[in-house]
Chains A and B, each alone.
Chain A
Amino acid sequence: DVKVTQSSRYLVKRTGEKVFLECVQDMDHENMFWYRQDPGLGLRLIYFSYDVKMKEKGDIPEGYSVSREKKERFSLILESASTNQTSMYLCASSPHTGLANQETQYFGPGTRLLVL
């Protein structure tokens, strides 16, 4: 079974703090993604990566950065947390097969972040 783990289920931070959200997958997947989930908006793509050291901006990258130093780990960084970044953050991974119909994404349990 694919296993995607996220370092924290709940996190409380102060405005201006630097925040690290960690995601680890154990299936040797090349593709990794960060989404945020907000009521009424569904999930929105923040950043994604197809390989180590590689990153691409998603639809809402402002205020975030990412790091992928190892294949299994994809970190989301909030450089200076703000209250509008209070949200549920979900990490996902998928294999890179070259065939989109084989690249199902598997999700971690999510991190619920509260910025005060």
Chain B
Amino acid sequence: AQKVTQAQTEISVVEKEDVTLDCVYETRDTTYYLFWYKQPPSGELVFLIRRNSFDEQNEISGRYSWNFQKSTSSFNFTITASQVVDSAVYFCASMDTGRRALTFGSGTRLQVQP
């Protein structure tokens, strides 16, 4: 069984601060896939990124960056120069390659104050 842990329940920052959301995963699979989703107040989950277990390259997309480290089973997400529009709940998830279903962490609520 897979498990995803997001230890930070809620984070509050002031606009323009950098913020890192932590994600730790557990899996027995040698090949696995990790995801980040954003859930704004409207409720719909928005896909942000997918990372394959065999690709440990970090990724940057604008103000967003992801740090994948197999040695610590972590897949952390950093927002640089946060903005009020970044306020949302962020979910980390892993894919069960058998069922093709996602196992989610409990989510981190990010509040960016102006």
Contact = CB atoms under 8 A, between A and B. Distances in A.
A100 interface: yes
B104 A105 contact: no
Interface residues of A, number: 30
Interface string B20-53: 0000000000010101010000111111001010
A110 B47 contact: no
A101 B91 contact: no
B104 A94 contact: no
Contacts, number: 65
B100 to A, nearest CB: 6
Contacts of A101: 33, 50, 52
Contacts of A96: 100
A78 B67 CA distance: 40
A77 B12 CA distance: 38
Nearest to B106: A42
A110 B100 contact: no
A57 to B, nearest CB: 10
Given A88-B43, A100-B33, A110-B43, A94 B100 contact: yes
Contacts of A33: 101-102
Contacts of A58: 99, 101
A101 B45 CA distance: 19
Interface of B: 4, 6, 9, 31, 33, 35, 37, 42-47, 50, 52, 91, 93, 95, 97, 99-107
10 contacts: A9-B43, A33-B102, A40-B106, A42-B91, A42-B107, A45-B99, A48-B101, A104-B50, A105-B47, A106-B47
